[in-house]
């Protein structure tokens, strides 16, 4: 029976980064599995020209281990694009290029297996190992693996409000499916986008610049009181750091949720360049008289959806005037974000891991969720470690902390006191 030092479930950017970082540690025996057949980063939102919201050095490894062979710079060098990238002078890589970078890393690592869905995890207390039962998605064949440590990197799932769930169909869908439906959307008489994060803004701009004539309107509504730009100012960026995570982690749970509610601009907002591009496109189209009937409305909370002939009646509540109104739309795109989930495959080991009644993990400072520091989580620590949880740039840091905790030594040294500010007293 082969026992791996660690098995990672899910191969998104965070566990892929862990695989890349751990590949430089001699003797460490790792396996990462993913139910998808190959790595493809958010294909439903791979809108042409879309860029990362983090710079190129916030790749899978650099901020923890800049000499690692899997840096973005080495990817560019090895694929003959270093000079072109430099001359292009773009700090924020194209999302399609980042996807290719991740696929390049995948092609170089032999610790990854795709097409394997994790279905159940058990624990053998005599041997102190986890038993990972997985299934080949192509053949249905069962595969069992054993590991001393687990790293859960299963990502998040699209969030759809309860009242909309039963109505989901090809004309009412989550933003994560945008590219699948785009060609059909362009033939519709009206489209309504709900939400004001980066995805909503990208979709709005993509539809706007497609020059399709939405006879009855291209509508963008959000409950937020305005369309916020992402805060990239220097002192805000200092908060994307181990220093800030240390501070936030030490706050009371109630204070954490209060603080998080004020931080949308740090992680849920729209790239400033994109806001400018949208406004510029609207200006030009109005000048040459080519725009569809466009509507952008903040402060409008979607409260109900009714299916009617040729589309939907969307009921909105204006949060400041208190008035309600109905918006008709042939199609609806819910850019309503993503949410964490606790996978069912953990059921047999529920007693070993720490869960709150609110169905979130109790996450230790080192991202472990058990007493033995043997089960770790990625991107499930928003409530405990703060807004950096889903930030690609902080992935290498979290992975360094996880590997240091697992190995019980400082394999990766992280810089301390990076901020000019003091976050607490």
Ligand X SMILES: Cc1cc2nc3c(=O)[nH]c(=O)nc-3n(C[C@H](O)[C@H](O)[C@H](O)COP(=O)(O)OP(=O)(O)OC[C@H]3O[C@@H](n4cnc5c(N)ncnc54)[C@H](O)[C@@H]3O)c2cc1C
Chain residues in the site for ligand X (CB under 6 A): 9-15, 33-36, 42, 45, 52-54, 117-118, 153-155, 199, 343, 345, 378-379, 390-393
Of 34 and 171, CB closest to ligand X: 34
Nearer to ligand X, 314 or 363 (CB): 363
Count of CB atoms within 10 A of residue 177's CB?
17
410, exposed or middle or buried, with CB in 10 Å at 0-12, 13-18, 19+?
exposed
CA distance 329 to 189: 8
Q: How far is the CB of 330 from ligand X (least distance, A)?
A: 24
CA distance 49 to 52: 10
The least CB distance from residue 296 to ligand X, in Å, is 21
CB of 137 to ligand X, least distance (A): 9
Runs of H (alpha helix) within 61-197? 72-78, 82-88, 95-108, 162-165, 178-185
From the list 3, 1, 24, 4, the residue with the least C-alpha distance to 399 is 24
Closest contact distance (angstroms) between CB of 152 and ligand X is 9
CB of 12: closest distance to ligand X in angstroms? 2
Least separation in angstroms between CB 289 and ligand X: 33
Nearer to ligand X, 389 or 411 (CB): 389
Nearer Cβ to ligand X (265/304) = 265
Among candidate residues 377, 269, 346, 342, the one with its CA nearest the CA of residue 14 = 377
Nearer CB in complex with ligand X: 158/216: 158
When the beta carbons of 54 and 221 are compared against ligand X, the nearer one is 54
* Contacts for 125 with CB less than 8 Å, ≥ 6 apart: none
Pick between residue 332 and residue 392 the one whose CB is nearest to ligand X: 392
Which are the contacts of 210, defined by CB distance < 8 A and separation ≥ 6?
186
d(CA 85, CA 202): 23
Exposure string for 335-370, b = 16+ CB within 10 A, e = fewer = bbbbebebeebbeebeebbeeeeeebbebbeebbbb
For residue 262, the minimal CB distance to ligand X (Å) is 19
């Amino acid at each position: 029976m082969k026992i791996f030092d660690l098995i990672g479930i899910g191969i998104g950017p965070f566990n892929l980064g862990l695989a890349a970082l751990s590949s430089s540690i001699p003797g460490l025996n790792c396996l990462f599995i993913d139910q998808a057949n190959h790595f493809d980063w958010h294909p439903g939102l791979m809108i042409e020209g879309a860029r990362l919201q983090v710079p190129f050095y916030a790749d899978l490894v650099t901020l923890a281990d800049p000499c690692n062979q899997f840096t973005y710079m080495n990817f560019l060098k090895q694929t003959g694009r270093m000079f072109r990238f430099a001359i292009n002078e773009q700090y924020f890589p194209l999302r399609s290029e980042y996807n290719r970078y991740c696929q390049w890393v995948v092609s170089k690592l032999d610790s990854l297996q795709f097409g394997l869905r994790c279905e159940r995890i058990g624990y053998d207390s005599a041997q102190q190992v986890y038993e990972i039962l997985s299934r080949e998605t192509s053949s249905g064949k069962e595969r069992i693996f054993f590991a001393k440590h687990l790293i859960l990197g299963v990502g998040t799932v699209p969030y759809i409000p309860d009242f909309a769930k039963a109505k989901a169909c090809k004309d009412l869908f989550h933003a994560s499916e945008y590219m699948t439906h785009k060609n059909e959307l362009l033939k519709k008489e009206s489209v309504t986008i709900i939400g004001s994060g980066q995805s909503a803004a990208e979709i709005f701009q993509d539809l706007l610049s497609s020059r399709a004539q939405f006879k009855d309107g291209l509508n963008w509504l959000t409950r937020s009181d305005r369309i916020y730009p992402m805060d990239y100012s220097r002192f805000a960026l200092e908060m994307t750091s181990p220093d800030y995570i240390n501070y936030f982690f030490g706050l009371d749970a109630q204070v954490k949720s209060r603080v998080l509610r004020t931080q949308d601009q740090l992680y849920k907002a729209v790239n400033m360049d994109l806001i400018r591009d949208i406004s510029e496109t609207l200006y030009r189209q109005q000048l040459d008289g080519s725009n569809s009937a466009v509507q952008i409305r903040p402060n409008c909370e979607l409260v109900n959806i009714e299916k009617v002939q040729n589309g939907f009646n969307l009921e909105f509540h204006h949060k400041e005037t208190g008035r309600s109104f109905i918006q008709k739309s042939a199609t609806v795109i819910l850019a309503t974000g993503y949410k964490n989930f606790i996978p069912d495959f953990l059921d047999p080991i529920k007693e070993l891991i720490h869960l709150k009644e609110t169905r979130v993990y109790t996450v230790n400072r080192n991202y472990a969720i058990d007493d033995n520091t043997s089960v770790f989580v990625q991107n499930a620590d928003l409530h405990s470690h703060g807004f950096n949880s889903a930030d690609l740039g902080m992935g290498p840091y979290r992975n360094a902390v996880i590997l240091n905790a697992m190995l019980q030594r400082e394999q990766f040294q992280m810089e301390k006191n990076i901020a000019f500010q003091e976050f607490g007293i």
